[in-house]
Structure 1
Amino acid sequence: MATDCLFCKIIEGKIPANRVHEDELCIGFPDINPQAPVHLLIIPKQHIASQAKVAAEHTPLLGHLLATAAEIARTRKLDGGYRVVVNTGDDGGQTVNHLHLHLLGGRHMDWPPG
């Protein structure tokens, strides 16, 4: 855990979050600035600063995060589709330096995203 990381503090329970999912590897909770009717963050419990810091050893974890996103989408009845986004670095729009997936759904998603 990184002591100055917002998401690590949420994982540790030092900052409250409405956890909609939790297992041994990750947690999911609503984004505080939702961009869709369903906008959840799925974060690994292991601190990885960003997608740019991912290594081959993280492959099982990344698969688990994507499978978790699909599971949550099914439970949220996002049958019409959804989007999974990983913002990486400042230019990619990453605002918290802890790897996380955005799960967005509940409306039509336009392309390009912006």
Structure 2
Amino acid sequence: MADSPAEVSAAPAEGYEKKCIFCKIVNNEMDTELLHRDEEISCFRDIRPAAPHHYLVVPTKHVGNCKSLHKEHVPLVKQMVETGKEILQKSNVTDLSDVRFGFHWPPFCSVTHLHLHVLAPASQMGFLSRLFYRLNSYWFITADQLIDLLNSKGETN
């Protein structure tokens, strides 16, 4: 269950990378409001929102970008999506058919800490945002596409 911002733990996260901006955010070293933080998942607003609701859902522990993931990471990715849905529902976003959940595909990601973009309503994204978070592109992959890709990999690929 998601914590309210006032209840978010301040304990340092396991797997902390001291040069990673998202690790710093998760560990309250930045002036960024955490909308959710537990041992597994954290969430905060994107600093350059591409939609009225634009959140980043990250593993609390440092995990590399989506190219570094394996089949055993599927539950983590699914948990990230569920957390994104919970944050949207708390923000009174009820139309989950007009939402985009996805990842930038390396080398098109600016931070190597795995992060899920949660964008809603997708229909209200501007032209450049639609391009930057474009479905079926070389630079952006949906959460479902990533899960399918990981499920098709062997355990140690």
TM range (shorter): 0.7 to 0.9
Unaligned segments of structure 1, at least 5 residues: none
Alignment RMSD (CA, Å): 1.9
Paired residue secondary structure (1:20): strand
CA contact (8 A) 1:38 1:106 kept: yes
2-structure distance, mates of 1:67, 1:13: 23
CA contact (8 A) 1:41 1:101 kept: yes
Unaligned segments of structure 2, at least 5 residues: 1-15, 132-157
Q: Paired residue for 1:21? A: 36
Q: Paired residue for 1:70? A: 85
Percent sequence identity over aligned pairs: 30
- CA displacement at 1:40 relative to structure 2: 0.7
Q: Paired residue for 1:45? A: 60
Q: Paired residue for 1:87? A: 104
2-structure distance, mates of 1:107, 1:84: 10
Aligned length: 111
TM-score norm. by structure 2 comes to 0.64
Residues 35-89 of structure 1 show CA distances to partners (whole Å, capped at 9, x for unaligned) of 1111111110121120001122322211211111111122222223211121121
CA contact (8 A) 1:83 1:109 kept: no
Q: Which has the higher helix share?
A: 2
Say which one has the larger Rg.
Answer: 2
- CA displacement at 1:27 relative to structure 2: 0.9
Structure number with higher relative contact order (C-alpha < 8 Å, ≥ 6 residues apart): 1
2-structure distance, mates of 1:76, 1:33: 18
